Amino acid sequence: MSSRSSLAFATRARAATPGATPAVRSLSSSASSSRRGGAVGAGARRGGGGKNAAFSSVLFSSSHSHRHQQHQHRMGRRGGENRGSIGRGFRGKMTTMASLSSSSSTMQQNPDGFAQIDLFSPSKINLFLRIVRRREDGYHDLASLFHVIDLGDEMSFAKSSSETKDTLVCEDASIPLDESNLVIKALNLFRAKTGIKQYFWVELKKTVPSGAGLGGGSGNAATALYAANKLCGDVATEEELLEWSGDIGSDISVFFSTGAAYCTGRGEIVEDVEPPLPLTTKMCLVKPSIGLSTPTIFKALDLDKRSKAEPLDLLKSLNADGCTYENAINDLERPAFSKLPELGELKDKLIDATKEDGAVVFMSGSGSTIVLLGTDTVPKFAMEDDDLFKSKARLISRKKGEWFVPSNV
């Protein structure tokens, strides 16, 4: 692809693509000027309001309603609530989100004398998501602008004295703590790739909902790889961690980008780009309590009904005009709304309710999160609906060698 030369660099699992000219200009100025001119909200909008029917069909076993409560708070202030130590089963004391926001990783000694590291585990949105083709192996090649965001979990890691297993602690009963958890898969991967026979204590405090299209579990896995590597003395490079991460999931690699990444292949080919929007861009997330299963949504995609837009044209448009309804395209919206019609109705209602704010409203990943880009105000109908998860969020980036921290915007 000729326009690849406009991207800073590409790294894929196992086969690093040689670096290309870092020619993507910083678009902060053009994006913000177009936002002033209303471009964030420009373009075609879906019509209709639709009833916000009860979300009755269960497509994903999601039980995070208690987390919804937590997020009602976050709407009022930045950085999350309930910041103390999780306290159950973990030997250290978790660093609070507030202190995580000032440093990317805090290494300290825990009461058992082991080094402990506390990290913020971010999530992501897809500013556009085009599905390119269905592959023989059942996966889909995609082309998407992923952006890391500061809705995230808190994680603490320490070396364990166990010679047989990792210990994962999480108060959220819906989170599996065994080998099916991507965190344990990531630690197994780290041992297999490095040959280091070190097991770990991990404490996870979940905030990011599951089945949301936000890559919360993938962010946990990436954070675990980063932490294990730090605790073991940086035996691997970040490029190696990125390459290895493709073995256990398609969405993990993006967390080894610097924040904004044009991703292709299954999602594991990551090209860092300049953030196309100012990191100060206002954003809210709204999600029904029902999550969506990624394989189900990919299977339900009718390839004849995809957008015909060229992904690299979408990237150009995003860079030049900011986020608009013309470029905020997600090919997975149609199958997600066919599986969960209430989600399409929720999107319509959110579009109607945010017209005045000039927000652009779209689904992230395979859903069921709806992103409201360009506003910090969740519409009243959504604020009053206790079944909806609501959170403010911000786009974030990081410097190579440091880990992500929540936005201070």
Which positions touch ligand C5P (CB under 6 A)? 138-140, 142, 249-251, 266-267, 294-295, 298
Q: Between 150 and 251, whose beta carbon lies closer to ligand C5P?
A: 251
Q: Between 207 and 250, whose beta carbon lies closer to ligand C5P?
A: 250
CA 268 – CA 212 distance, rounded (Å): 19
- Residue 243's nearest CA partner among 149, 229, 298 is 229
Q: Minimal distance in Å, beta carbon 298 to ligand C5P?
A: 4
Q: Between 187 and 382, whose beta carbon lies closer to ligand C5P?
A: 187
Q: Between 67 and 140, whose beta carbon lies closer to ligand C5P?
A: 140
Q: Between 13 and 117, whose beta carbon lies closer to ligand C5P?
A: 13
Q: Minimal distance in Å, beta carbon 135 to ligand C5P?
A: 8
Q: Between 105 and 294, whose beta carbon lies closer to ligand C5P?
A: 294
Q: Minimal distance in Å, beta carbon 236 to ligand C5P?
A: 21
Q: Minimal distance in Å, beta carbon 252 to ligand C5P?
A: 8
Q: Long-range pairs for 294-300 at CB < 8 Å and ≥24 separation?
A: 294/213, 294/365, 294/366, 296/59, 296/339, 297/332, 297/335, 297/336, 297/339, 297/366, 297/367, 298/131, 298/140, 298/332, 298/335, 298/366, 300/335, 300/336, 300/338, 300/339
Q: Minimal distance in Å, beta carbon 249 to ligand C5P?
A: 4
CB distance 147 to 127 below 8 Å: yes
Q: Long-range pairs for 192-195 at CB < 8 Å and ≥24 separation?
A: 193/236, 193/240, 193/244, 194/232, 194/235, 194/236
* Residue the block writes with tokens 């294990």: 228
User: Phi first, then psi: what are they for 72, rounded to 5°?
Assistant: -60, -35
Q: Between 12 and 68, whose beta carbon lies closer to ligand C5P?
A: 12
Sheet of strand 388-392, all strands in order from the earlier edge strand to the far edge? 360-363, 370-373, 283-288, 388-392
- Residue 304's nearest CA partner among 329, 325, 341, 334 is 334
- Residue 211's nearest CA partner among 375, 81, 367, 37 is 367
Q: Minimal distance in Å, beta carbon 18 to ligand C5P?
A: 23
Q: Minimal distance in Å, beta carbon 12 to ligand C5P?
A: 13
